[in-house]
Structure 1
Amino acid sequence: MSFVNILSIASYMPGESISNDRLASLIGELDEELMAQVDVQDRYWTINAETGEPSESNSDISAKSARLALEKAGVSAEDVDLIVMSTCSPDYPLPATVTQVQDNLGLRRAATIEVRSGCCGAVQALDIAKLYLSTGQYRTALVIGTEVISPLLYQMYGHKDKDDLRLRDKLCIYSFGDGSAAMVLQASEQANGHLIGKSAFACAGGGKKPGMIVPIGGTAIPITHEALDKGLFSLKVDFTGSAKYTADILHEGFHETLSKAGVSAKDIQGCIIPEGNTGYLRDDLQRSGKLSEEWLEIENRVYDNLKYVGNTGSPAVLLAFEHAVRTGKVNQGDNVMFLAIETSKWLFAGTVFQWKGV
């Protein structure tokens, strides 16, 4: 069985950062307590925040992050024989956006897979790539996570007076951002920054209502004039449910990831939990009685970059990791855990690897 090494990580953020002050001028302010819970200072959107005019598509920014990752790894696009991509905001329902990315990279042929699991999707994509590479079926893979959420957000405020916006809609608009990140993986007989053990992922939301939903656009609620008039083309988040269930899902995912990888918390030098206000996570774990010895061991090595990019869904774990590498929070030879939580139907996904890439 071949080792699967991670060669590089790269990110691409569209446009200029949008500050809270700029957003407040468009949709109104949030009070200090709510802003502390949101914990976002800046975000990036592919649209013009004032007009809603798009500048780049999902496949555009995905290809840009992929090219940057390939350049860092010193790998030619022609060497890529597998692309696994996670997104919940594709260019179109069909064709799959991953095939558009393949086109943008100039590849006539590649195996392509698209995952739709939100924040957990990039970790699942890593595991899928690992499975195919480790068997020798493919040798070089791109793993991409991308979301373009801003067009949905604009529908929530673009044609409304800011005094008429509901608080829950404001919370969404302040919370979310666009972005893309990519990794290059390669099979090798030598371990040199490899994925360790098995990954852990599951939907632990059986019997629970969705914590996040985009109601319109599927076959259950097709796009109609009536649905548009009702404001269903939007992002709806159950912030109360997130506070209620996140600690349980985090606890389950954290311990299962350690178990599947065959490591202890002491073996992990960096833990990447995207979109996790770590202070609130600790409080939630303590309130629910899930503040374990293993978490106490690792909590000072937990890293996220939520405040700099907002909630970004599929690329979140990769964006946070790229920022951790760039700012020296993760170093060559470190064992790193990815642990992602997705509130739409209460998923978790975790994996462990040794970082020796660029």
Structure 2
Amino acid sequence: MAIRSVILGCGSYLPARVLTNADLARMVETSDEWITERTGIKSRHIAADGELTSDLAYNAALAALAHAGVAADELDLIVLATATPDHTFPATATRVQARLGMTRGAAFDVQAVCSGFIYALSVADNFIKAGQARTALVIGAETFSRILDWTDRGTCVLFGDGAGAVVLRAEDNPGTAADRGILSTHLHSDGRHHDLLYVDGGPSATQTVGHLRMKGQEVFKHAVVNLAEVVREALDTNGLTAADITWLVPHQANRRIIEGTGRKLKLPPERVVVTVDHHGNTSAASIPLALCEAVLDGRIRRGDLVLLEAMGGGFTWGGALVRW
């Protein structure tokens, strides 16, 4: 019998403040039409003053644990994906660990920007498969509003804040594609493309936080190619085809990228989970936020085959196939 990581439950948290395109049009030279046409985004959530990434992560964690019916003292592992930690160190995951009252096991951060949740899911899945953890909490949480240049209309309109989480538990099963759990994860990176999407600050380089910088058209071109490749890799690994996919839950960066990926898979739009219109790009929080929304509203059901995929700065990209 093989050990497989099964997702027991999910949870999410969004800050109370909503920033609409109309609000942005009063801050920078843009319009609702310009933003919507290019990105599909209508609004995004922005963390309040003093509201930290760990606060968002903690609230998403509470919701996920409640949905899974798991107590914090059952956790062996917390893996938190973020590019906007509370501090340079310690890891934001340890702050969540302390607030949850978890005093055993391990908690640490993973940094792969928009691919962060896929990376964190893969790390936790491998801990479980190796027998080093039985129950794990995987979180994606970001306060990207803190690293935006609010005078740059090409980037400040794209991003939002939020957090999502899932609870994993080891289960014995035959290891076939028909069984529940994470079937496979696939991670990639290519550091040659650093200058296409990065933050121009950091403790070692500038001793400042810095702002996000992006060459959007170039990132778009790479995203289309890389996401298509990782989708094929995930399906081929499991002997499946695109026709087997029940739901695509992509990173919510841009509606055009999402729709393009869906077309490549020949998935009708109603089988693709889209939240970018009301969340914006929440980086590592993007996939768990979208996943949780589709689970809680009843779209994703037991036995569904769910494909998760993302690409982010670095470049990093990855995918995961999950039988719900």
Q: What is the TM-score with the length of structure 2 in the denominator?
A: 0.91
Q: Partners of 1:278 and 1:41 in 2: how far apart?
A: 11
Q: Partners of 1:326 and 1:23 in 2: how far apart?
A: 30
Q: Residue 201 in 1 paired to residue 201 in 2?
A: no
Q: Partners of 1:125 and 1:81 in 2: how far apart?
A: 15
Residue 57 of structure 1, CA deviation: 0.8
Q: Partners of 2:73 and 2:86 in 1: how far apart?
A: 24
Higher-Rg structure is 1
Look up the equivalent residue of 2:279 and give its one-letter code: V
Distance 1:34 1:13, change over 3 A: closer
SS in 1 for 2:266: helix
Distance 1:4 1:61, change over 3 A: same
Task: Give matches, 1:245-256, under 5 Å.
Answer: 245-256=222-233
| Contact 1:142/1:185 (<8 A) preserved | yes
Match of 2:16 in 1: 15
Residue 282 of structure 1, CA deviation: 5.1
Look up the equivalent residue of 1:128 and give its one-letter code: V
Q: Residue 340 in 1 paired to residue 310 in 2?
A: yes
Match of 2:292 in 1: 322
> Pairwise CA RMSD of aligned residues?
2.2
Task: Give matches, 1:153-302, under 5 Å.
Answer: 153=148, 156-157=149-150, 165=151, 169-190=152-173, 193-196=180-183, 198-203=184-189, 205-223=190-208, 233-280=210-257, 292=264, 295-297=265-267, 301-302=271-272
Query: Which runs of 5 or more structure 1 residues have no equivalent in the other structure?
Result: 48-53, 158-164, 224-231
Match of 1:126 in 2: 121
1:98 to 93, 101, 125: 93
SS in 1 for 2:288: helix
Query: Which runs of 5 or more structure 2 residues have no equivalent in the other structure?
Result: none
1:264-311 Cα distance to aligned partner (Å, 9 max, x none): 21211001112254445556x79xxxx75xx22566522221111010
Residue 349 of structure 1, CA deviation: 0.8
Residue 314 of structure 1, CA deviation: 0.6
More strand by share: 2
Residue 324 of structure 1, CA deviation: 1.8
| Contact 1:271/1:298 (<8 A) preserved | no
Match of 1:5 in 2: 6
Q: Partners of 2:59 and 2:117 in 1: how far apart?
A: 17
Aligned length: 319
Q: Partners of 2:104 and 2:77 in 1: how far apart?
A: 9
Q: Partners of 1:81 and 1:246 in 2: how far apart?
A: 34
Residue 181 of structure 1, CA deviation: 0.6
Moved more, 99-108 or 207-216: 207-216
Q: What is the percent sequence identity of the aligned residues?
A: 30
Match of 1:147 in 2: 142
SS in 2 for 1:3: strand
Q: Residue 351 in 1 paired to residue 320 in 2?
A: yes
SS in 2 for 1:331: coil
| Contact 2:247/2:273 (<8 A) preserved | yes
Q: What is the TM-score with the length of structure 1 in the denominator?
A: 0.83
Residue 36 of structure 1, CA deviation: 1.2
Distance 1:263 1:57, change over 3 A: same
SS in 1 for 2:153: helix
